[in-house]
């Protein structure tokens, strides 16, 4: 039947524009004046008009997701999830279909009623944000979690407890294999844990370009509070921009003070939800298991908010978590699948190694034929042992895989011959700024006492200009450690020490990773250097390094070459091109460069103690028998 819009609107006491809006929402054809409708459509329209006028009624189809609800009410998605988990004890991701009564309860909490419709897409009364559909095939994947914290705060115990409580008990033998990662399956969802706690593993992976962790758990013992490695871990996690959950552990211990830990955390800019921030905290005991289910729940909640997705049918992507050579089995690697599905028989390239997967087992030692996203598996069949953090990529067959791996190995060799990896240095900062390579100067600051840490940090943060951001990514009391170097290499930072020195091992590591360390004992020199570097005006600083001592025993006058000093090396060595100071009667007769160095008539690069040689100087011939030459080199120290 033909219905006039104006009359229909008048009958129901609404504006004609409202009728048109509802007609469009329901997808009913109209020409602005009239529309065709049967009784069903009229009923639907009447119902919709009644509710559309009521801002507090949501018209939704059955099976809504938390995300639909959030959109319809104009509420932030995490809020809905939090409500679900904490108040209603319902574990759901953003795209899980909710039971109608649960959805109604949520709506009620925000003052809405739900009118369940037939499936016609509802008009959202508040927010009309488009729901972005995930690309075809993308599915929610389990979160990958790493546990960090100070030594002895219970990282290993917590990992063990979670594994035992959720994994081993289900197995007949209850024997789990250590493969570097494990997965727990809970009724509410699955979580993958990386089994090497601590920030060394976390940051080493990142330094190699692999970001594996989705969520970091910071363990802090309630009886000990925030300790140096806790602060380091906070810096590492913040720098990697990974969401953090705090597990206050050992709450079973008499004298433990979880609230003090929360207070301390705020001092390090980790603000718990209880203090108005956004960091979730779970109070747990790895000994008794108290609070551990809450922790797991919070992890799943956080994962839901992150909407971690991967496509099991997509291209294979993975990363090596751990690798070793096994006597009987050859190279063994634990791989975390990040996208796609890894199958037995697949040809893969893993960093500079390759192979065809011979066998695959999970953390229970069970044989698998395939593994999807976020699953850790141990694989056999690689040509060699890859490195943790190496990427796993597909190849069409073993031959192709081998070709790619070998080419990579060759390029890597050439690169290592070509010179050290390029890293940021204060001297090159200006050049790197000019070439657009960087805009930030990241610094790791270590100092002798807390007062100086604060002072240095405060002053450094004032050194800014419009081109450079000076950012202190970590600051702490103590010597410069391995962990500082690791963080600096992952974040391309420079380490500055004030009244403190690098530990021996850190020095070696820094040389290997080409991380610059600068130490100072005068605060304004430190600040001046950074200021100068930012302006691109840092003058090179040289230090003299003694090489050796040489005596002039005879002076030759040769027709073709001119005057030559016949010398004997009495200590150390002398190099062609080295700097030298010529002393005569305790006075310095000349200072300059050694131009030529000869052994009899042959040009040589170096002569050592006990050898005789002929020396000519760069632009000086007034040398005499008995002169003593002190040779040295100038080493650039910045
Ligand atoms: P990690 O160095 O952080 O891995 O710490 P561990 O897991 O090795 O734990 C250090 C010590 O603390 C061990 O002796 C554990 O038994 C003990 N411990 C760990 N968690 C708890 C806990 O929740 N309560 C108590 N009372 N002791 C714990």
Ligand 1 atom at shortest distance from the alpha carbon of 250? 23
- pLDDT at residue 529 greater than cutoff 90: no
Cβ 402 under 6 angstroms from ligand 1: no
> Ligand 1: distance of its center to the CA of 33 in Å?
76
Cβ 252 under 6 angstroms from ligand 1: yes
> Ligand 1: distance of its center to the CA of 28 in Å?
66
> Ligand 1: distance of its center to the CA of 428 in Å?
46
- pLDDT at residue 525 greater than cutoff 80: yes
Please choose from 202, 247, 286 the residue to mutate so as to test ligand 1's pocket, defined by most ligand atoms within 8 A of CB. 286
Residue range 147-163: mean pLDDT, rounded? 93
Confidence grade of residue 270 (pLDDT, cut at 50, 70, 90)? very high
- The confidence score (pLDDT) of residue 601 equals 85
Confidence grade of residue 55 (pLDDT, cut at 50, 70, 90)? low
Q: Which domains does the chain possess?
A: 2-117 (no CATH), 139-310 (3.40.50.300), 317-418 (2.40.30.10), 429-539 (3.40.50.10050), 543-636 (2.40.30.10)
Of residues 138 and 96, more confidently modeled: 138
> Ligand 1: distance of its center to the CA of 407 in Å?
46
High-pLDDT (> 90) share of the chain, %: 45
Cβ 86 under 6 angstroms from ligand 1: no
Burial of 190 (0-12, 13-18, 19+ CB in 10 A): middle
> Ligand 1: distance of its center to the CA of 282 in Å?
16
Select, from the ranges 40-44, 71-75, 572-576, the one with the highest average predicted confidence (pLDDT): 572-576
Cβ 500 under 6 angstroms from ligand 1: no
Cβ 334 under 6 angstroms from ligand 1: no
- The confidence score (pLDDT) of residue 436 equals 67
C-alpha torsion angle, residues 464, 470, 474, 477 (rounded to 10) = -50
Alpha-carbon span 4 to 34, nearest angstrom: 4
Which residue's alpha carbon is nearest to atom 25 within ligand 1? 250
Q: Taking the complete model, does pTM exceed 0.75, yes or no?
A: no
- The confidence score (pLDDT) of residue 245 equals 96
End-to-end CA distance of the chain: 88
Ligand 1 atom at shortest distance from the alpha carbon of 149? 3
> Ligand 1: distance of its center to the CA of 150 in Å?
11
Contact, 575 vs 547, CB < 8 A? Answer: yes
- The confidence score (pLDDT) of residue 289 equals 94
- The confidence score (pLDDT) of residue 44 equals 77
β-pair type (215-221, 309-310): unpaired
Residue range 526-546: mean pLDDT, rounded? 79
Contact, 599 vs 611, CB < 8 A? Answer: yes
Residue range 423-432: mean pLDDT, rounded? 72
- The confidence score (pLDDT) of residue 582 equals 95
Cβ 229 under 6 angstroms from ligand 1: no
> Ligand 1: distance of its center to the CA of 224 in Å?
11
Cα 72–51–25 angle (5° rounding)? 65
Ligand 1 atom at shortest distance from the alpha carbon of 286? 23
Tell me phi and psi for residue 404, to 5 degrees: -65, -45
pLDDT per position as a tens digit, 460-506: 888 877 677 888 889 999 999 988 998 898 888 899 999 999 998 99
> Ligand 1: distance of its center to the CA of 522 in Å?
41
Cβ 151 under 6 angstroms from ligand 1: yes
SS (H, E, C) 566-592: EEEEEEEEEECCCEEEEEECCEEEEEE
Residue range 115-134: mean pLDDT, rounded? 41
Residue range 36-65: mean pLDDT, rounded? 73
Ligand 1 atom at shortest distance from the alpha carbon of 249? 23
Residue range 355-383: mean pLDDT, rounded? 93
Burial of 115 (0-12, 13-18, 19+ CB in 10 A): middle
Cβ 253 under 6 angstroms from ligand 1: yes
Cα 448–453–456 angle (5° rounding)? 115
Residue range 395-423: mean pLDDT, rounded? 79
Contact, 333 vs 386, CB < 8 A? Answer: yes
Cβ 287 under 6 angstroms from ligand 1: yes
Cβ 157 under 6 angstroms from ligand 1: yes
For 43, other C-beta atoms within 10 Å of its C-beta total: 11
Residue range 147-174: mean pLDDT, rounded? 80
- pLDDT at residue 91 greater than cutoff 50: yes
- pLDDT at residue 316 greater than cutoff 60: yes
Which residue's alpha carbon is nearest to atom 22 within ligand 1? 250
Cβ 250 under 6 angstroms from ligand 1: yes
> Ligand 1: distance of its center to the CA of 154 in Å?
4
pLDDT per position as a tens digit, 162-191: 988 876 545 545 566 788 899 998 888 999
Cβ 291 under 6 angstroms from ligand 1: no
- The confidence score (pLDDT) of residue 168 equals 52
Angle, helices 16-26/5-12, rounded to nearest 10 degrees: 110
Largest CA distance in the chain: 125
pLDDT per position as a tens digit, 201-242: 788 777 777 788 999 999 999 999 999 889 989 998 998 889
Cβ 249 under 6 angstroms from ligand 1: yes
Ligand 1 atom at shortest distance from the alpha carbon of 157? 7
High-pLDDT (> 70) share of the chain, %: 89
- The confidence score (pLDDT) of residue 544 equals 86
- The confidence score (pLDDT) of residue 540 equals 65
> Ligand 1: distance of its center to the CA of 82 in Å?
30
Look over the chain and give the mean of its residue pLDDT values, rounded to a whole number.
85
Residue range 30-55: mean pLDDT, rounded? 73
Of residues 552 and 426, more confidently modeled: 552
Alpha-carbon span 422 to 199, nearest angstrom: 24
Of residues 131 and 444, more confidently modeled: 444
Alpha-carbon span 363 to 376, nearest angstrom: 8
Confidence grade of residue 421 (pLDDT, cut at 50, 70, 90)? low
- The confidence score (pLDDT) of residue 246 equals 97
- pLDDT at residue 51 greater than cutoff 60: no
Confidence grade of residue 9 (pLDDT, cut at 50, 70, 90)? confident
Cβ 236 under 6 angstroms from ligand 1: no
Find the helix or strand (DSSP H, E) in which 52 lies. Answer: helix 39-52
Which residue's alpha carbon is nearest to atom 6 within ligand 1? 154
> Ligand 1: distance of its center to the CA of 197 in Å?
13
SS (H, E, C) 78-102: HHHHHHHHHHCCCCCCCCCCCCHHH
pLDDT per position as a tens digit, 17-34: 778 877 887 778 888 888
Cβ 154 under 6 angstroms from ligand 1: yes
- The confidence score (pLDDT) of residue 626 equals 95
Confidence grade of residue 125 (pLDDT, cut at 50, 70, 90)? very low
- pLDDT at residue 98 greater than cutoff 80: yes
Cβ 286 under 6 angstroms from ligand 1: yes
- pLDDT at residue 78 greater than cutoff 90: no
Please choose from 152, 157, 160, 161 the residue to mutate so as to test ligand 1's pocket, defined by most ligand atoms within 8 A of CB. 157
Long-range Cβ contact pairs of 364-369 (< 8 A, separation 24 or more)? 364/167, 364/171, 364/175, 364/176, 364/177, 365/175, 365/176, 365/177, 368/344, 369/343, 369/344
Three-state DSSP class for 457? Answer: helix
- The confidence score (pLDDT) of residue 123 equals 34
Confidence grade of residue 438 (pLDDT, cut at 50, 70, 90)? low
- The confidence score (pLDDT) of residue 133 equals 40
- The confidence score (pLDDT) of residue 39 equals 78
Please choose from 146, 147, 149, 152 the residue to mutate so as to test ligand 1's pocket, defined by most ligand atoms within 8 A of CB. 152
- pLDDT at residue 135 greater than cutoff 80: no
Residues in the chain: 638
- The confidence score (pLDDT) of residue 608 equals 95
List residues bridging with 606 in a β-sheet: 575
């Amino acid at each position: 039947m033909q219905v006039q819009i104006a009359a229909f609107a008048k009958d129901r006491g609404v504006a004609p524009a409202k009728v048109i809006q509802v007609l469009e929402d329901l997808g009913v054809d109209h020409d602005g004046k009239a529309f065709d409708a049967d009784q069903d459509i009229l009923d639907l329209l009447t119902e919709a008009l009644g509710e559309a006028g009521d801002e507090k009624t949501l018209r939704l189809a059955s099976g809504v997701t938390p995300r639909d609800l959030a959109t319809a009410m104009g509420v932030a998605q995490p809020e809905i999830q939090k409500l679900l988990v904490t108040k209603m004890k319902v574990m759901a991701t953003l795209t899980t279909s909710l039971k109608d009564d649960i959805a109604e309860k949520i709506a009620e909490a925000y003052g809405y009623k739900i009118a369940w419709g037939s499936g016609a897409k509802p008009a959202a009364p508040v927010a009309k944000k488009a729901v972005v559909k995930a690309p075809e095939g993308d599915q929610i994947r389990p979160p990958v979690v790493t546990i960090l914290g100070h030594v002895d705060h219970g990282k290993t115990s917590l990992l063990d407890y979670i594994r035992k409580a959720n994994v081993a008990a289900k197995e007949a033998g209850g024997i789990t294999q250590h493969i570097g990662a494990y997965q727990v399956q809970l009724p509410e969802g699955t979580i993958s844990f990386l089994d090497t706690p601590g920030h060394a593993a976390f940051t080493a992976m990142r330094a190699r370009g692999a970001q594996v962790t989705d969520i970091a758990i910071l363990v802090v013992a309630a009886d000990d509070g925030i300790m140096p490695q806790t602060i380091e871990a906070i810096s590492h996690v913040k720098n990697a921009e990974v969401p953090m959950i705090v597990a206050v552990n050992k709450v079973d211990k008499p004298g433990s003070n979880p609230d003090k830990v929360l207070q301390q955390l705020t001092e390090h800019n980790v603000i718990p939800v209880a203090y108005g921030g956004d960091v979730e905290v779970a109070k747990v005991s790895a000994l008794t298991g108290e609070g551990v289910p809450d922790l797991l729940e919070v992890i799943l909640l956080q994962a839901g908010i992150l909407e971690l997705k991967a496509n099991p049918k997509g291209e294979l992507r993975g990363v090596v978590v751990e690798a070793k050579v096994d006597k009987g089995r050859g190279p063994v690697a634990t791989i975390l699948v990040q996208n796609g599905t890894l199958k037995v028989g697949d040809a893969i390239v893993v960093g500079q190694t390759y192979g065809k997967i011979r066998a695959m087992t999970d953390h229970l030692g069970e044989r698998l034929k395939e593994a999807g996203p976020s699953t850790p598996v141990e694989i056999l069949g690689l040509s060699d042992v890859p490195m943790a953090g190496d990427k796993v990529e597909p190849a069409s067959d073993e031959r192709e895989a081998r070709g790619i791996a070998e080419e990579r190995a060759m390029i890597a060799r050439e690169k290592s011959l070509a010179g050290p990896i390029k890293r940021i240095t204060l001297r090159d900062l200006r050049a790197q700024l000019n070439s657009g390579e960087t805009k930030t100067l990241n610094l790791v600051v270590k100092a002798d006492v807390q007062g100086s840490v604060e002072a240095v940090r405060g002053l450094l943060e004032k050194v800014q200009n419009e081109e450079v951001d000076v950012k202190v990514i970590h600051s702490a009391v103590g010597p410069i450690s391995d962990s500082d170097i690791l963080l600096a290499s992952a974040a391309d930072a420079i380490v500055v020490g004030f009244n403190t020195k690098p530990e021996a091992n850190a020095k070696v590591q820094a040389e290997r990773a080409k991380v610059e360390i600068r130490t100072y004992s005068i605060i304004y020199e430190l600040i001046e250097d950074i200021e100068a570097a930012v302006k691109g005006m840092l003058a090179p600083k040289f230090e003299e390094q003694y090489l050796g001592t040489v005596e002039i025993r005879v002076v030759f006058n040769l027709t073709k070459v001119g005057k030559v000093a016949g010398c004997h090396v009495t200590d150390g060595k002398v190099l062609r091109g080295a700097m030298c100071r010529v002393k005569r009667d305790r006075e310095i007769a000349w200072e300059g460069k050694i131009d030529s160095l000869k052994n009899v008539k042959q040009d040589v690069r170096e002569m050592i103690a006990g050898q005789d040689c002929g020396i000519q100087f760069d632009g000086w011939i007034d040398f005499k028998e008995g002169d003593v030459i002190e040779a040295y080199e100038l080493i650039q120290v910045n």
